[in-house]
Amino acid sequence: MALSEHEMRLLEQMERALLDEDPKLAHTLRGPSRHHSARRRMLVGGIGLLVGIAVMVAGAFWQLTPVGIAGFVIMLVAALFALGGVHMSDEVGQEDEPGHVEHSGRDLNEDDL
């Protein structure tokens, strides 16, 4: 459900007042941007993927099947970690049309409320 113009103005006024009163707190409450967190997740996932490849190759080289399987699992977990944050941040709570918000996989309309 979208905010009315009056509610949007009140929210903007409260945000400006908080920023003027305590800029450090306002910056802390904003937290990292989605772009920054997605970049960090991709970096950590990429490093994990490389570690998994190295472990899997080492297992194949020394003919140790459990080590190779562990390397594959590390690669899989790293890839899911890297891509999982991107998928969730793009879908949750996005508004498709006025009065329609997808949340937690269930479609809600104004009539449902």
Give the number of other Cβ atoms within 10 Å of residue 82's Cβ: 20
Look up tokens 């802390």; give the residue: 28
Give the pTM.
0.52
- The per-residue pLDDT for 89 is 43
DSSP states of 36-72: HHHHHHHHHHHHHHHHHHHHHHHHHHTT-HHHHHHHH
For residue 29, give both structure tokens: 């409450």
Look up tokens 């918000």; give the residue: 101
Q: Which residues are 103's β-sheet partners?
A: 106
- The per-residue pLDDT for 32 is 67
List, as own/partner pairs, every contact residues 103-112 make where C-beta atoms lie below 8 angstroms and the sequence separation is at least 24, other chains included.
Answer: 110/1
| pLDDT tens per residue across span 63-110 | 999 999 999 999 999 999 998 865 444 444 444 444 444 444 455 555
The DSSP H or E segment spanning 21 is: helix 5-21
